[in-house]
Amino acid sequence: MFQYEHTNKWPLYWSLDPNVTFLNHGSFGACPLQVLTAQAQLREKLEREPVHFFIREFETLLNEARGKLAEFVGAKPEELAFVPNATTGVNAVLRSLNFSSTDELLTTDQEYNACRNALNFVSDRTGAKVIVASLPFPIESPQQIVEAVIKHISPRTRLALLDHVSSSTAFVFPIKKLVKELAKRGVDTLVDGAHAVGMLPLNLEEIGAAYYTGNCHKWLCAPKGAGFLYVRKDKQENIHPLTISHGANSTRIDKSRFQLEFDWVGTDDPTAYLCVPEAIKFMGSLLPGGWLELMEKNKSMVLVARHLLQEKLGIKIDCCPDEMIGSMAVVKLPDERGDKVYSGLIPPLQNDLWEKFRIEVPIVCWPNKRKRLLRISAQIYNSFSQYEYLAEALVKLL
């Protein structure tokens, strides 16, 4: 188990406000200064000669970035396309496939709201039925997720949309086993891996999903607007970006139609994509053991923090076993009382933590408005004293 000092040097590499206790890396990530500097240099280069940049340099830079990302996530470069975020990736797949009123689309009750909305949108337009598998909470083992999902498969199931790491509960799903069990029954899987990249060691080829999408701006610490979509080669013919552009009728034969369509959907700022290699390199250089040590350190920190919070708040039940935790964890808080039921953008307790203590940490109202989960994140810039401060604040507020 790692030991954590009360102060550390790592915050110096980020531009985070030193007056805020930032324990919410999971929502939007935080980009290191070195990576932001690399992005600024790319933007300066772009604006110095935009035509030269986009016409003569961009494709080479994009291919280089894709190659580094492919190596990091265990995929072939030709199976990857950059997208702004995982929600875009989920939408691209769902809105490319042809469903009918006889089809069923399987997901769980922990699916991210934005992606569940995409499922509902497709369901409303095609008549396909959304089937929701309810997962146990608290949960005792990853196998319970497998069992809950498998029992909802029917001959009509066309596709399963599953988290790799759930946003609401921070559970790490046994995704490789889920994909295998679904494939044995003839069902393709679209994995929402928004949180997994940089949190967990990844090998997309071993996972074997037909589709996998993830964010690079969260745990990989790339700039905002960097995500990717992995589509297995045998599935690429039917998948198109949300914006149809020049690639749809390109006569080039040196690249796949999949990449021709996704690589250029119109003029935009591509520097977030191009900085992915710098983020991989920088974050991997922070500890002697590279990325694996960083992931282990973050997991160890969040486990220690979870134990501290539960001890200080008198909570005796873990929401999940340690093996189902990555760099985030949830602590089940007492239900909301009286007229304080969450009805706006930010739950009352989350607001109180911010306004009274300048602590940035999410309160997740799940599975309903009165239920409250405290979701903590651990990134290398966090220190144990920050979780102690959070525990003290919660003791005063609860």
Q: pLDDT of 207-239, one tens digit each?
A: 999 999 999 999 999 999 999 999 999 999 999
pLDDT at 262 > cutoff 50: yes
Percent of the chain at pLDDT exceeding 90:
92
Q: Within its chain, how far is the Cα of 284 from the centroid?
A: 19
pLDDT of residue 340: 59
| Six token digits for residue 45 | 């280069």
pLDDT tens, position by position, 160-172: 999 999 999 999 9
- Checking if the pLDDT of 5 tops 50, the result is no
Q: What percent of the chain has pLDDT over 70?
A: 96
Within the chain, residue ranges assigned H as helices are: 25-28, 33-48, 50-52, 58-73, 86-96, 113-126, 143-150, 175-184, 204-207, 257-263, 271-274, 276-284, 290-313, 348-357, 384-397
- Give the 3-state secondary structure percentages of the chain, helix then strand then coil, rounded to 5: 45, 15, 40
Task: Provide the pLDDT for residue 339.
Answer: 63
Its sign, for the CA torsion 267, 268, 273, 278, is positive
Average pLDDT, the chain: 95
- How do strand 211-215 and strand 359-360 relate by DSSP bridges? unpaired
Domains (ranges, CATH) in the chain?
Answer: 10-23+289-397 (3.90.1150.10), 36-280 (3.40.640.10)
Query: Does 326 score more than 80 pLDDT?
Result: yes
Quote the CA–CA distance of 398 and 385 in Å, as a whole number.
20
First to last CA, the chain: 30
The CA distances from residue 277 to 62, 262, 378, in Å, are: 10, 19, 22
pLDDT per residue as tens digits for the range 23-71? 999 999 999 999 999 999 999 999 999 999 999 999 999 999 999 999 9
Q: What is the pLDDT of residues 91-125, one digit of tens each?
A: 999 999 999 999 999 999 999 999 999 999 999 99
Bond from prior residue into 367 cis (ω within 30 degrees of 0): yes
108, two tokens: 């769980």
Each residue's pLDDT tens digit, 128-160 = 999 999 999 999 999 999 999 999 999 999 999
Reported pTM: 0.96
Task: Identify which of 87, 298, 83 has the alpha carbon closest to the alpha carbon of residue 172.
Answer: 298
Within a 10 A sphere around the Cβ of 392, how many other Cβ atoms? 12
Query: Using CA atoms, how far apart are residues 206 and 209, in angstroms rounded to an integer?
Result: 9
Q: For residue 138, is the peptide bond before it cis, meaning its omega torsion is within 30 degrees of 0?
A: yes
Statement: residue 80 has pLDDT above 90: yes
Read off the pLDDT of residues 330-373 as tens digits, 9 standing for 90 and up. 999 998 876 656 667 789 999 999 999 999 999 999 888 888 99
The pLDDT, as a whole number, for residue 368 is: 85
Q: Looking at the predicted structure, is the pLDDT value of residue 6 above 90?
A: no
Distance between CA atoms of residues 202 and 176, nearest Å = 10
What pLDDT is attached to residue 336?
80
- Of 387, 331, 398, the closest CA to residue 359 belongs to 387
